[in-house]
Amino acid sequence: MTKLHVRWAGLTAAIVAAVGLLAVPNATAEVAPFPELALPFKAGQRVYSAGIHSDDGSTGVKNAIDFSPADGTVRAPLAGTVHLQHCAGGDWVTIDHAGGWRTGYYHMEDIKVTDGEQVEAGAVLGSTGNALPCGGSSTGAHVHFTLWTLPDAPAEPARAADAGNWDGLAFGAVSTTVAQAYGEPVDGKTLGGWRFAAGADQYTGTATYVADDAVTQLPGRFRAKL
């Protein structure tokens, strides 16, 4: 439930030490505003989106959206640091961006990036697919794109591992425990000039092209213009 940002905890601890206070006011966690992201594939092509949903597709924050771009190639929507999350069934990709934001790419096949790699916006991550490295399910090649916020520089090693290293974590845990702690809604976010709004039901919503207010109902197809 609590989105504790450990850099704040570290800072407040330092303040406590410095001024000798026994208690400090509650510091509200601060994450940078949602950054300007591209869509996670090349512009100028049609894409099918199965809509906005929670990570597990049934309950919790709707922090995910499925994309199937025509060229089947998934790209970084913003520069960042790749973390490959390893499971018995293979790997999946997360990218940590400046400001405490993390994006995720599940079901990809033919992964082209390595653990710790710094990528620029537009870097090829892999191909849409049906991979289930840590479990879950998929019907039809796509990428399950997910949003989380994580502390930039966790002060406590244990917390850092908890926050950033999901190796071996079943997708069932990522989509529940992790999503509850760190998941951020896709609703209201803009990617590549398209603003996404979640619907009442799972796998629904809209994509609105901000420049002309053209609305695509999801699930549905639209053209990535930027």
The residues of the shown chain that bind Zn ion, judged by CB under 5 A, are 64, 66, 144
Which of 5, 53, 97, 107 is an active site residue? 107
Within 13 Å and on the Cβ side, how many CA atoms surround 24? 16
Q: Cα–Cα distances in Å, from 95 out to 36, 103, 148, 206, 213?
A: 15, 5, 10, 25, 30
Do the beta carbons of residue 181 and residue 130 sit within 8 Å?
no
What's the sign of the alpha-carbon dihedral 53, 54, 59, 60? negative
**Shortest Cβ distance from residue 144 to Zn ion (Å)?**
3
Do the beta carbons of residue 105 and residue 92 sit within 8 Å?
yes
144 is catalytic: no
Q: Of 99 and 220, which has the nearer Cβ to Zn ion?
A: 220
Which of 5, 53, 83, 142 is an active site residue? 142
* Residue in the shown chain whose Cβ atom is closest to Zn ion: 144
CA distance 4 to 181: 9
Q: Of 66 and 184, which has the nearer Cβ to Zn ion?
A: 66
**Shortest Cβ distance from residue 151 to Zn ion (Å)?**
25
142 is catalytic: yes
**Shortest Cβ distance from residue 118 to Zn ion (Å)?**
26
Q: Of 105 and 154, which has the nearer Cβ to Zn ion?
A: 105
Catalytic residues: 107, 142
